[in-house]
Structure 1
Amino acid sequence: MKQYLWIMLLIVCLLLPAAQAEENWPVADGTFIQDWLVSGWNDETWEKEMNYIKELGMTYVIFAPTAYSAGNDNYLTTHYPTKQEGWIEKAPGQDMVETVFKQAQKAGLKVILGLNFNDLWWQKGGSDAKWLKDQMELGNILAQELYDNYYPRYKETFAGWYWVWEIDNVSFRGKAREQALIDAMNVQINYLNELDPDLFFMFCPFMNARLGTKEAYRDFWIRVFDQVNLRPGDIFAPMDCVGGGGLDLTNFEEWFKELRVAVDTKEGLLFWADTETFDHTDWTSVPIGQFVQQMEGAKPYVENFITFAYSHYYSPNVTDRAFHDTYKEYVNTGTLEQEPPTAPSNLQLMEMPDGAMYLLWGESDDNVGVAGYIIYRNGKKVSRTQVPRTGSSMLSLKAYKETSRLVSGRTYSYTVRAYDFAGNISEESEPLEYTAP
């Protein structure tokens, strides 16, 4: 009997590491929420959002920015009641920062609070050192007021600061620009470290493979990390740039591999990925399968994942609930359903009196639901439809308006495929041929 028990114990010990490894699938640990998305939300909508985030096992809500300026203004427009002379409240009487903290605390989530931003960053960030330093000084005043207003009441909820300025792999080339960036970051970081050393500092740079090499960007960050006063526990969280188009599914992993080398030169610096949930070509939500693929690609190099932005592209508050439910199943099981929709049928063209031409088709079936359709002309993708976002005035999920000028006398072949929320794609429809008059 003892021998049998020892054998069973040995089997359990051998199998346990494998079982634990199987459960180690990548999941998002936080989401950005921006002011324009939530400006009209009431408490009920906020509570729903926090619960959606919580049931997915996330820890963080990143709310940013909390204030902004325009042009060369030396004042900020805030999303909370400010006492700073000359500053402006965007919505007097509305305290969006308080709402974020209150709702996150209720749900047991942590808040990473963004600071200020100015759109002139894209023109002046790398070329005007004084302007950049002035923005950091303005941000320090903001940080002090935010800390004084909210930290005493939300000590357990306030996790860290988000630096809203997004550094690319072009704007700070050259020693002078690089040093200006380092000096500006230290103006902000030194102040925040003195304000409260327990609140971490996070920032999310990005990159474009068409404008530079991964090796050059690695070396840039090695030099920056050497001089910027980041502390152990601060977070370097580059965007994966797949959604934005700077990188793609074929090369983003290589960039993260090189950035890992840079991060390893800074003792205690954490390396997270900011996984993008959108497709910049049409601003639709990428299917959950691609979202997971992006996390899996970065997983060998990073310790954690945040996303821009679950709340903006997958939340039931903004789009079809099936995105949320599909991802929730993945979070709980590590797997995605793999049954594709049926192929679309009954393609037809409708020419309108004004000359507009629409391609229409019959609905596909899917075990979870159809997220949209991909339209091809002569075998090349020309468009995609997707379930409408909340408040959208979309004409139809099963219609495509031809926007290209077709050549008279030429015959075109149209086909359509359906895709579901996990990203499974149907077979092609039967082709519909059309000869332009």
Structure 2
Amino acid sequence: MTTDTRVLEAPDWDRWFATLERAFGGAVANSSEERESSRAVTEYERSVGVWEGDACVGTASAFSFGLTVPGGARVPAAGVTMVSVAATHRRRGILTSMMRRQLDDVRSWGEPVALLTASEPDIYGRFGYGAATRQLSAEIDTSRVSFRVPANTDGTEGPDGIRLRYAALDDARASIESVYARLVPSRPGMLERRPGWENKLLVDPPEARDGASAFQCVLARRGEGEGAETVGYALFRVKPTWDEAGPKGTVVVNKVLAVDPVAYATLWRFLGDIDLTSTVSVSNLPVDDPFQFFVSDVRRSNLRVRDSLYVRLVEVGAALAARTYQTPVDMVLEVEDAFCPWNEGRWRLTGDEKGASCERTADTADLSLSVRELGSMYLGDTSAAALAGAGRVRESRPGALTEASVAFGSPVAPWLPHGF
């Protein structure tokens, strides 16, 4: 039978989502609450299904995000998600056809960048996606490690003016979202998201807890009375464990965010001091996260790094012009992009810390690379020199590699704060 690719309609969502769930071994939604939260954020007009008769055999969707880029601007971006092909229909070109349809759609929507988190990174490199951020995880031995709180701005020691209070999730929702929104411009890779995500990210089904508690939330507030403001929060679980020697539970951190160093360190010190626990486990922090400099012994924090966000430049000129550059840059990039041929060719990038332009040119290339490498460089995590060491960027003008490596960098590491 032939297949038909069409935009998802609400009555078809259950069959469409069931295809996705089956492709991921049933691990997409652990409960009806999670399932309904996924339905609530689905953007139907940005989702497609591949159908063979009445059977759905392929799925793909794209969320509407604003992506923070170096310089602090938010660029419209398509958050590619819920991609699957039925195991019975592999190697028939269904994934390629969906990626083709989706990138054409993203271009028509005027979004110069597409994003995804890859279940298998090798799949998406052939469609032009490059690894653009990394994430840090840690297992902190709090029986041996303590947290130092930095001095206040007036030079006094300790978390003066910071008060920590437990809060019910429903009561804390607005405060959590407010702290997050304040931080979105501060780091490349962070996502400005549509309403509804504040609910999805707090869904807490018992099936997902792996023996730990329900979510607990602590707010950090500065000031007294009506003038007090929430300046940070910690969202976490506690997983109790005991052995012959006594309690050795784990604090499983979902998120810790704060608007200043004192509030941030105060929350970390609280997490490290919770009774009946001896470990703090966290799976997604920026690779330059300040917690590494709060701890008394970083070796006993067991740090690990892995890939996180993958970026694809859908419109090379618009994407490169949307960010700023650490140092002045004026160079010609020769871009290879067989999957989106409108990006093929030479582009003159001119910019600095105030802004940039990127236009077509016939001038001689200074650097040659594929759109995948540009995606990896885009947020400032991966340097052109590192990619050149792997033979993936080629220098034609001496000095261009160093110029690009410095200019494309970011003073803070890019970071994807949550999956999608």
Range of TM-score over shorter length: under 0.3
Higher gyration radius (CA): 1
More strand per residue: 2
TM-score of the aligned structures, taking structure 2 as reference length: 0.22
TM-score of the aligned structures, taking structure 1 as reference length: 0.22
